[in-house]
Amino acid sequence: MRNLIYLIIRYSALFVFILLECLSFYLIVNYNRSQKEIWSHSSNLFTGGINKRMENIQNYFSLQVQNDSLLSENARLREQIINYRVASKENAFQEFESTDTLRKYHLIPVGVCGKTLNLRNNYFTLCKGRAAGIRPGMGVISDKGIVGIVKTVSNHFSTVLLLTNSQSRISARIKDSNYPGTIVWNNSNPRIVNLIEVPRHAVVEIGDSIVCSGYSISFAPDVFIGRIADFKIHEGNSNYSIDVELSEDLSALDFVYVIDYHYIEEKSNQLELENE
Amino acid sequence: MNKLIRRNLIRAAIILAIQVILLKRIDITFSGFNYIHFTIYPVILALLPYKTDKTLMVLIGFVMGFFVDMFYDSPGVHAATSTFTAYLRYYILALIAPTDGYGKDGLTSYGYGFVWFVSYMGILLFIHLLALYSIEAFSFVYLNEILLRSIFSFIASFFLLVLAQLIFNPRY
């Protein structure tokens, strides 16, 4: 303490000098217009630069949160598109319908936790389960097309039967000519699936879009699946055998959306009645 | 000792009066050339007795600068400059110390010779002016202007100060 006082006394001129200079500059900056402007401008430049840098760093840390929010927003938008499409189709001859029809499909964004891709029967494991509202039978889509159907569900995980699974059967149709068929996978190329049960009188062209028929409980109508890459009719067969190229590589997916159809139980009951 | 203080006080009063009443109004401008401003009050700091306490010097510098500021409508600019100059005076004196040291109190040409006084006053005044216009511009963007103003004002003010020194030739 005594040393400190000695120090202050010894350098009192310096301390007084610094103090008075600070006071003067305070006066300059506060009571002179042009200096004030220069001061505030340059300090803005300085602090602005720091703020921007800090924000960049912060952005980096909040990427995950932003990703999630973008994902849920995406889900909401896609949901709207699907619902509007359905509504417009079903209401073609009706002028008025309650807005409830717009809420038939709900999308749940989910991350992919595990994959099997090179087997004969391929599955995805999703990071959400019953707790998030996922039920067996729901369809799974990605940004560009369909992925598969939820097969089993635990509380926090669920298993998806991919398109590239030999057991998968998904109702589809050719978009332009409206002929229905079924998507199966009976080759080994993960980018190609097969559309079967299209009658030989149907009009088929390479490049035609294949979309979901909307007859099943899993998928909304008109969800894109892929394009016709090749087709032929085997001798003595009454149906086409069509190769459909998928719009994306399933192995590259990290995020998917599960389609929650509002009337899923009602419709599945109805379908069962028909089958009886 | 009292005589020394009284003399310095009277000198300060006169020089400050000349500065803020007379020299402030002199505005030499021709065809955009506006770099000459008479600034003579640093001589008050320069002529303070050699033994003046350093802390007191700094305080005097601040008070004097603040006084000038009140008339120049520039709060803080002259105060900051004068404080700076007052603090530097000790180092300037150390830099140009005569071979036999500072024996006398009056830092004038009478005591230490004309050449010594010119170099002492020149260094002090130029530092003061450079600091003054730098602080006034408050940004080194205007470096050209700062230098021009400092140089031309220095020539004019220095001329006045040396002339006064020759005419009055004070002991203290």
Kindly report the length of chain A.
276
Say which residue the tokens 């009292």 belong to: B2
Question: B58, A20: Cβ pair inside 8 Å?
Answer: yes
Residue of A182 and B141 predicted with greater confidence: A182
ipTM, 2 dp:
0.83
Q: Are A88 and A102 in contact (CB under 8 A)?
A: no
Q: What pLDDT score was predicted for residue A8?
A: 81
Helix, strand, coil distribution of chain A in percent, nearest 5 = 40, 30, 30
Of A24, A38, A42, the CB nearest to B76: A24
Chain B nearest CA to A34, separation (Å): 8
Q: Which is it for the CA torsion B47, B49, B54, B59, positive or negative?
A: negative
The count of other CB atoms within 10 Å of the CB of residue A13 is: 18
**What confidence tens digit (pLDDT) does each residue in B119-158 have?**
999 999 999 999 999 988 887 778 888 898 899 999 999 9
Of A13, A26, A28, the CB nearest to B54: A13
**What confidence tens digit (pLDDT) does each residue in A151-166 have?**
889 988 899 998 888 8
Q: Which residues pair with A149 in a beta bridge?
A: A139, A161
Q: Which of A32, A37, A43, A46 to mutate to test binding with chain B, by most B CBs within 10 Å of its CB?
A: A32
**What confidence tens digit (pLDDT) does each residue in B8-56 have?**
899 999 999 999 888 888 877 776 677 888 899 999 999 988 888 889 9
Amino acid, res. A109? P
How far is the C-alpha of A142 from the C-alpha of A107, rounded, in Å? 11
A170-250 CATH: 2.40.10.350
Of A12, A23, A34, the CB nearest to B55: A12
Chain B nearest CA to A20, separation (Å): 7
Question: A28, B138: Cβ pair inside 8 Å?
Answer: yes
Q: Are A271 and A217 in contact (CB under 8 A)?
A: yes
Which residues are CB-contacts of B18 (< 8 A; sequence separation ≥ 6)? Answer: B40
Which residues are CB-contacts of A176 (< 8 A; sequence separation ≥ 6)? Answer: A203, A208, A209
Q: What pLDDT score was predicted for residue B65?
A: 92
3-class secondary structure, A231: strand
Q: Are B93 and B120 in contact (CB under 8 A)?
A: yes
CB contacts of A34 in chain B (<8 Å) are 138
